[in-house]
Amino acid sequence: MGYDKSHIYELADAGEIGLQVGFSTIAENQPKESQLRPLKAVPEEERKAIWEEATRKAEEEHAKLTAQRVESAVKEWKQRSQDWHSQFISERDKLRQSELERVTAQKHPAVVVEKIPADCEALKAKAAQLATELATKKAEQNRIIQSAIKAKLSGYQGEMDALEARKRNLEQQAKDYQNYLASLTGTAKQMEAQTRAFEKTRQALVDLASELSDFTPVDPDLTRRALALAEMHGAAAHSLRLVFEPARPTTLTVIQGHAA
């Protein structure tokens, strides 16, 4: 195919990421590999949320979703993760130090007054605040995901409208055809019905001849039924000649390419 191994691996990774962010392998509009590539740098469980955040921003700005936008969303996520992680580590270390000092103070003789850092309560309050902020950010992330889902569902409305329009068009065509049939009278209506019935039977014989061109009998019961069918067709051919031969200008053709 002309692709080196690294490019093939990149395409495979893109296909896997596409499934993770919600694209079916049979969807008509697949994202480009360049758009999915930045998501390789983040954990699998975060890829869908980051993709939907980039999609939401592009839709709000009435802009195309590009690889640069996805890369920007990845950078923002990394920065937030780094900030949260650094702050969490800092507060965790302070709490550990405070707990260590408390345990050390308990091991001292009773005459030694236990000394608890003055900012211990403040640190606990800060930790509670961080937990609240984390819960808020999780709720915001869920809101973003739900908004993206609603936006996708609204996109299906156009397809539903198109199908409804097609349905109305087909219904109108059927109505027009019924009106046409109703307008036919006497001989014209009879000719129309005869022509359609004859063409249906002729096409069935064409299909049967095509099937038999490479057919090898292996079932005795089917052979018996086929011969009976041949007898029926012979009787039908005789009836056709009785009806049409007195008026025919040329040889009657039942199956195109084979004289009756």
- Kindly report, residue by residue over 107-124, the tens digit of the pLDDT: 765 555 556 666 777 777
Supply φ then ψ for residue 259, to 5 degrees: -70, 145
pLDDT in tens, 143-182: 777 776 676 666 667 777 888 888 888 888 888 777 776 6
State CA 77 to chain mean position distance: 27
* Amino acid 257: pLDDT: 45
Element (H, E) at 101: helix 67-107
Q: Where are the domains of the chain?
A: 5-158, 187-259
Side chain identity at residue 134, one-letter code: L
Single out the residue of 103, 102, 106 nearest to residue 116, CA to CA: 102
Supply φ then ψ for residue 253, to 5 degrees: -110, 115
* Amino acid 260: pLDDT: 40
* Amino acid 124: pLDDT: 77
Element (H, E) at 258: strand 258-259
Please tell me the pTM assigned to this model: 0.28
**Which residues, given as ranges, of the chain have pLDDT below 50?**
2-3, 7, 9, 24-27, 252, 254-260
The Cα-based distances of 10 to 3, 29, 50, 117, 162 in angstroms read 11, 19, 19, 54, 37
The encoded tokens of residue 56 equal 């939401």
